[in-house]
Structure 1
Amino acid sequence: MSKVIVVGDALVSSSTLEKAAHQLSIEKPIEVTKYEWNSNVSKHEFRRYIKLIETNGPENVDIPQGILEDLQTADYLLVHYAPVSKEMIENAAQLKLVGTCRGGIEHVNIQACKEKEIPVIHVIRNAEPVADFTIGLMYAETRNIARAHHNIMKGKWVNEFANDSYKTTLSNMKVGILGLGNISKLVVKRLNAMDVEVLAYSKHANAAQLKSDGLKVSMVDFETLFSESDIVSLHARVTPKNMNLVNKNVINLMKPSSYLINTARPELINRKDLIDALQNHRIAGAALDVFWEEPIDSNDELLKLENVTLTSHIGGDTVDAIPNSPYLLRDAINDYLKNGVSDMLVSFR
């Protein structure tokens, strides 16, 4: 028999997680115990809990009541955004695996899992939607789509913009990709289909594997990525080493005609340095779907700029991607259990 604990939330139901758990290739019968983490709040309110756990980690939020006792005899733990804290892992005497049906792992105490040698499997549950959205932001910012709409809605017919002297088609631009994970590879695939030249920087990318995957991308060093790209799109994880990675020194490498796109994490960018660069037109513009404070303050300096496109953290928000993510997790776990390796296995490095 296998005991699986699942924890649902406002975005992914415990019932869907339960169904996925019963389809795991593990010892039968499968006993599933369900818990909830802020499942009773609205999706809008739940974004506050998302920001809280992404910023502060699993040790600074409440865990489901009663879960510690159940974890003592659990074999598998499946969550979406719910915390997997050090205390939870320490109470899990026989836990074989932790699975989370999202790409980010800020809500999991990875060090605690490492110390107990418990593998962690995650999935990019909204890779396709975010990749689509990233391309959309490139068009929206470089061609002033959102700005033109905004002005028309205010009764203004505006057809002159701050980037007029730089405007060109996407096919005439070089797009630089920072980080080559699941989402960014899909971005590259889309850019390849449009005959857009792609540069990329990643410490862990395998050039041979990229070629095998049919992706056309020129690997460059970090400085070259920012100095030669017309558009730089961020797709890296946030670690203590790369917080504020894109600061004034990096931005000063960029062309005055270049753009910065961020659908990843706000902490990759030094906020003050970006705003300063936009105010002084050291770069042509930026498009952001993630912010240092969400919702954005009504007095935020970003709202006063004419060369930004801002969206309310909706890049991965489609009707099917997030609610059905437990089935992606099921497939990733089964693949790992069958082969002993997986691209979705979180590295403990």
Structure 2
Amino acid sequence: MKAVVIGDALVKSETLTDAVGQMNLGKLTEIKKIEWYSDLTKDQFQEHILQIERYGPEKVEIPQGILEALQDADYLFAHYAPISASMIKSAPKLKMIGTCRGGVENVNLSAVRERRLPFLHVIRNAEPVADFTLGLMFAETRNIARAHLAIKSGQWRKNFSNDPYKTTLANMTVGIIGAGYIGRLVIKRLNALGVKVMVYDPYVDPAIFERDQLKVELRSIEEVFKNADIVSLHMRVTEETKNLISKDLIQLMRPGAYIINTARADILVKDDLVAALQNRKIAGAALDVSWIEPIPEGDPLLSLDNLTMTTHIAGDTVDAIPRAPYLLKDVVNAYLEKGYSDMLIR
């Protein structure tokens, strides 16, 4: 049997090959290494990351030599490289696909499902993103970043636009939109802090919350936006979720409510969020993701005094990416042993 691995500038093919060698795939006669912009620096590679996140696997260049390599491949493992319809079509023997990242924008899921292939992925930075999400909740609701900026600018600022609503997190209700792996880690942290949690996710089996011992109230998306003090977004961008959060939902929010987004910018309609913040329809927002990165000069986001922004760093810890291939190894081996996985997408 043959496995094909695709390395890139962040996850080298040698590391991925080592992890695949520890998978219980049976007797592998060959692990073929393919490269996708592996010679770039992390900063140079960022442009290709943004392209594939925005346009998907069919609109970017596929790895050189991949179609030939896949002709007799049984397994395909990658990180950020595109997994396109043409790649899947060229691999008639393929038994499984795996990627060592949480997002699936680089994979043509329709082509995967048409072939009924098991597709496994890992949330390599789930813990860092969950931690960062709570950090943004504190930073925005308690004006931590704004107070810091004021001090650095020579001001000793004590008053902020959300003064009428300031309270502790324990007094708030947090609404989670999307209760996948990261969403559930955020819920776990909120439960530990005694925070009431509402959840909207039509795709998650409610039994999972009981299995993971999570205390939540399941609500419609309208109920979450109407009743939560903080709405935190944890969805992938799909045809169903793109621009899902628009003025129709934002107008349901309380004046003292906040939006937190550590997922993807395209979940939100930018103009509707900006208008709500400019008009003080909601108290504030915190974003780790933006519609254009870096944010260009003159962008209306930069003039908002009730918005906290970070530079897409929620999952950026020293150990997240190096561990990713080995997390995938664990997920694959558990799936092969048990026949199911939370990280399986069909």
TM-score band by shorter chain is over 0.9
Deviation at 1:206, TM superposition (A): 2.8
Unaligned runs of 5+ in 1: none
Deviation at 1:115, TM superposition (A): 2.0
Deviation at 1:342, TM superposition (A): 1.4
Deviation at 1:344, TM superposition (A): 1.0
Paired positions, count: 346
Q: Say which is worse superposed, 110-119 or 256-265, in terms of deviation.
A: 110-119
Deviation at 1:30, TM superposition (A): 4.5
Question: Take 2:105 and 2:265, find their aligned partners in 1: how far apart are those partners?
Answer: 14
Aligned twin of 1:43: 42
Question: Take 1:149 and 1:24, find their aligned partners in 2: how far apart are those partners?
Answer: 48
* Contact 2:227–2:254 (8 Å) recurs in 1: yes
List, as ranges, runs of 4+ consecutive aligned residues in structure 1 with deviation greater than 6 Å. Answer: none
* Contact 1:12–1:324 (8 Å) recurs in 2: no
Q: 1:25 to 1:243 in 2, by over 3 A?
A: same
Match of 1:121, SS state, is: strand
- Map Cα deviations across residues 172-219 of structure 1 (whole Å, 9 max, x no partner): 100000011000101000011111111111102333331231111111
1:230-249 to 2 correspondence within 5 Å? 230-249=229-248
One-letter amino acid of the structure 2 residue matched with residue 13 of structure 1: K
Deviation at 1:117, TM superposition (A): 2.2
One-letter amino acid of the structure 2 residue matched with residue 332 of structure 1: V
Unaligned runs of 5+ in 2: none
Aligned twin of 2:200: 201
Aligned twin of 1:287: 286
Q: 1:94 to 1:150 in 2, by over 3 A?
A: same
1:261-340 to 2 correspondence within 5 Å? 261-340=260-339
Question: Take 2:190 and 2:126, find their aligned partners in 1: how far apart are those partners?
Answer: 15
- Map Cα deviations across residues 235-256 of structure 1 (whole Å, 9 max, x no partner): 1122212211111111000000
One-letter amino acid of the structure 2 residue matched with residue 162 of structure 1: S
- Map Cα deviations across residues 33-56 of structure 1 (whole Å, 9 max, x no partner): 111111222212222111100111
* Contact 1:235–1:263 (8 Å) recurs in 2: yes
TM-score, structure 2 as length reference: 0.98
Question: Take 2:345 and 2:305, find their aligned partners in 1: how far apart are those partners?
Answer: 40
Aligned twin of 2:138: 139
Aligned twin of 1:105: 104
Question: Take 1:211 and 1:337, find their aligned partners in 2: how far apart are those partners?
Answer: 25
1:111-126 to 2 correspondence within 5 Å? 111-126=110-125
Question: Take 1:212 and 1:331, find their aligned partners in 2: how far apart are those partners?
Answer: 20
- Map Cα deviations across residues 107-152 of structure 1 (whole Å, 9 max, x no partner): 1111122222222111111100000000000000000001111111
* Contact 1:16–1:324 (8 Å) recurs in 2: no
Aligned twin of 1:67: 66
One-letter amino acid of the structure 2 residue matched with residue 152 of structure 1: I
Aligned twin of 1:186: 185
The root-mean-square deviation of aligned C-alpha atoms, in Å, is 1.1
Indicate the percent of aligned positions where both proteins have the same amino acid.
Answer: 56
* Contact 1:4–1:31 (8 Å) recurs in 2: yes
Q: Say which is worse superposed, 236-245 or 19-28, in terms of deviation.
A: 236-245
Question: Take 1:153 and 1:240, find their aligned partners in 2: how far apart are those partners?
Answer: 42
One-letter amino acid of the structure 1 residue matched with residue 295 of structure 2: I
Question: Take 1:309 and 1:15, find their aligned partners in 2: how far apart are those partners?
Answer: 39
TM-score, structure 1 as length reference: 0.97
- Map Cα deviations across residues 46-92 of structure 1 (whole Å, 9 max, x no partner): 22111100111111111121111111011111000001111111111
Deviation at 1:94, TM superposition (A): 0.8
Match of 1:183, SS state, is: helix
1:52-63 to 2 correspondence within 5 Å? 52-63=51-62
Question: Take 1:101 and 1:252, find their aligned partners in 2: how far apart are those partners?
Answer: 38
Question: Take 1:20 and 1:290, find their aligned partners in 2: how far apart are those partners?
Answer: 30
Match of 2:266, SS state, is: helix
* Contact 2:36–2:64 (8 Å) recurs in 1: no
Q: 1:206 to 1:93 in 2, by over 3 A?
A: closer
Question: Take 1:310 and 1:156, find their aligned partners in 2: how far apart are those partners?
Answer: 20
Aligned twin of 2:89: 90
Match of 1:309, SS state, is: strand
Q: 1:175 to 1:248 in 2, by over 3 A?
A: same
Question: Take 2:269 and 2:4, find their aligned partners in 1: how far apart are those partners?
Answer: 39
